[in-house]
A and B are shown apart, each in its own frame.
Chain A
Amino acid sequence: MQAILKGLMAAAVALAASNASAATIEDVKKNGILTCGTNSATAGFSLPDNEGKWTGFVVDYCRAVAAAVLGDAQKVRFIPLTPKDRFTALQSGEIDILAHNATWTSSRDTSLGILFAGTYFYDGQGFMVRKAENIGSAKDLDGASICVTQGTTTELNLADYFRSHSISYSTVGFADEEAVVKAYEEGRCDVLSADSSTLNASRQRMANSDDSIVLPELISKEPLGPAVRQGDDHWFNVAKWTLLVMVSAEELGVTSQNVDEMKSSENPNIRRLLGVEGSIGKDLGLADTWSVDVIKQVGNYGEVFDRNIGKDSPLKMERGLNALWNQGGLQYAPPVR
């Protein structure tokens, strides 16, 4: 009988060990589809329509990764996640990559088993109040009820800010972002607090958006970025460089329209970016045309920004901090070489 037990144990160990290596890129290629965790409904960033087609800024990032790895921007399965559940889903391997409005912080990089692969949107936390309250500053919010989404840095920043300014407040937290906005709209709270991009996006989904204003203060730094699991450097590089290539493309003037012509450009930077020279694609374990696929099928950073949240979208957000470094912003890509 001991022999039977030993055999079973060995089988168990073998079963478990067979999955010890975690090469996400191999899984993605094998399955032929990228599983991407996104916001469940944030206009401009990630929003499904009635037919289940997803659009938005972070959605396009996922499509870019799919284009890079699989050569097809449509081969993405989107898993809507609440902020509360997003890191657990990434940790466990439920999703391949997290493209959420998630803030890059030190503790998330160190203790959650995940790594942020860059910043696709520089943001800050703000407040939205009803105009009728005649509030001019966050310091006038004494005694207010504030709606926040659970599991966000918003929750933590609020506590810091109000404690350091000795202002009393009470939070009303929900797991679901839609529930938070709805609770504010229905008057359950006086204030809605979130990243200012989310506040703007939420406005789009409010019935009476003109009744509310966003206060001038931004109380925190919120660099939003994609995240991957720790312990898979290869995949981390793919996630990081997909974003950086999009930024470089904008800097070098390569767009989804002109990418094919640009391949015959004389500029060595462009030639390297598009894989005409050098071997970055091969080094990343991707096809040589990976960057062309990304830019052609999804666009460069500026195109994605304008289309979803910038000047060509209903949100009409300024580039601001998200302009390129040579245009007064923070978006800066290390050289491709």
Chain B
Amino acid sequence: MSEVLLAPRSLWSLSLHDAKVRGVLYQVLLAGSLLALVVSIAIQTASNMRARGIPLSFGFWNETAGFDINQTLIPYDTLSTYGQAFWVGVVNTLYVSLLGIVLATLLGFVVGIARLSPNWIVAKVAASYVEVIRNVPLLLQLLFWYNAVLKPLPTPRASIELPGGIYLNNRGLIIPEIQLHEGAGSVGLAFLAGTMLCFAYRFHARRVQDRTGKQLPVLRVSLAALIGLPLIVFFLVGSPVSFVTPELRGFNFRGGHQLYPEFAALLIGLSAYTASFIAEIVRSGIQAVPKGQTEAAHALGLAPGKTLRLVTVPQALRIIIPPLTSQYLNLTKNSSLAVFIGYPDLVQIFAGTVLNQTGAAVQVMAITLSVYLAISLVTSMVMNAFNRRFAIVER
């Protein structure tokens, strides 16, 4: 690099007082020491691992794992491989993170908007929520939800019975399993058709509005298409769905879907915690929209709800999205606290049991960190693209 910048003859005539020379020197020193650091760590690690007989390969990937995981979204049993256990962990992490993001966003927007409510008590309750939740460590909240709220629920035999064949006990929430019969596919098709109808109608409505200024009832028609259409088909084909109600046999309930308390505690804790940060982001985002905008909207005769939806929020979103992205990433990373309450996420399964069984600590940690980095990079990219779409086109 320096060769390019410095002609050989002028090398000695340059002095350290030249900023360019110093810049190059700094960088060479930095690069050199970093390189030395990385190389020495690599050599040290490799020699230590060899000396101690620690496996250096990824050969464990296809070996039989031999342990059980209680919550899996993809097929897994004790005869599956470590590689499959890894995927179970990844899927579980993504699952709880995505659900958490959705819940935290909903709750966060509600609380954030409530903090700006003209109603004094609503604003105060929302503010208290934010100040309490935000200032207590997430780990403490997770432990609280798990150990102090969900675990003391009654035993399966003394379950709380909720309407609709739903049971709540210290093994979780057990809901009836949905079984699909012949014709269920057509309901799905009807839903798909409804969705397409929605888009078509919205497109049509916008054109009508552009041409004539008339507003068509988009919301009502969309709802009818999305819910009504599948519902009609559902009854036409003769309700092709039945429910398997859970029943208590032996120790636990059989049949039905089980929502484990570990999962529930993690989801509740993550959503509630992140929501308090999102609420603050939403509040400051909305406050940053000049008051004139709201006043102008009012002057045009827009109702408060519509003002919020059509004028304030779209502008606030521009300010909200970047910090919102980092909250989403925080939530995803924080889902690794699952280890403390026994939810089988990536860190618990892969960087926990698999690492312990295989002894391949370096490889396993490298893979785990890469997964989180990849999630982080992909989310950033998606949100940046989203952000560009929302950015003001400067004229």
Contacts and interface: CB of A to CB of B under 8 A. Distances in A.
Contact of B359 (A13, A111, A142): A111
Given A151-B352, A173-B348, A188-B261, 18 more contacts: A8-B36, A11-B36, A12-B39, A13-B39, A16-B43, A22-B51, A84-B353, A91-B361, A93-B48, A142-B250, A144-B252, A145-B252, A150-B356, A151-B353, A174-B342, A175-B352, A183-B151, A188-B171
A112 B359 contact: yes
Interface in B48-86: 48-49, 51-55, 66-70, 78-79
B242 interface: no
Contacts of B68: 155, 158-159, 169-171
Contacts of A276: none
B35 interface: yes
A143 B66 contact: no
B44 A151 contact: no
A188 B170 contact: yes
Nearest to B365: A88
A84 B254 CA distance: 31
B66 A156 contact: yes
Contact of A9 (B36, B52, B252): B36
A88 B254 contact: no
Interface of B: 2, 28, 32-33, 35-37, 39-41, 43-44, 47-49, 51-55, 66-70, 78-79, 147, 151-152, 155, 170-171, 249-252, 254, 261-262, 339, 342, 344, 348, 352-353, 355-359, 361
B52 A229 contact: yes
A133 B155 CA distance: 12
B54 A159 contact: no
Interface of A: 1, 4-5, 8-9, 11-13, 15-17, 19-20, 22, 83-85, 87-88, 91-93, 107-108, 111-114, 133, 141-145, 150-151, 155-156, 158-160, 163, 169-175, 179, 182-183, 186-188, 190, 229-231
A85 B262 CA distance: 21
B156 to A, nearest CB: 9
Contacts of A85: 356
A150 B350 CA distance: 11
Given A16-B43, A172-B342, A173-B342, A186 B359 contact: no
Contacts of A4: 28, 32
A31 B375 CA distance: 43
A172 to B, nearest CB: 6
7 contacts: A1-B2, A4-B28, A5-B35, A16-B47, A91-B52, A108-B359, A159-B66
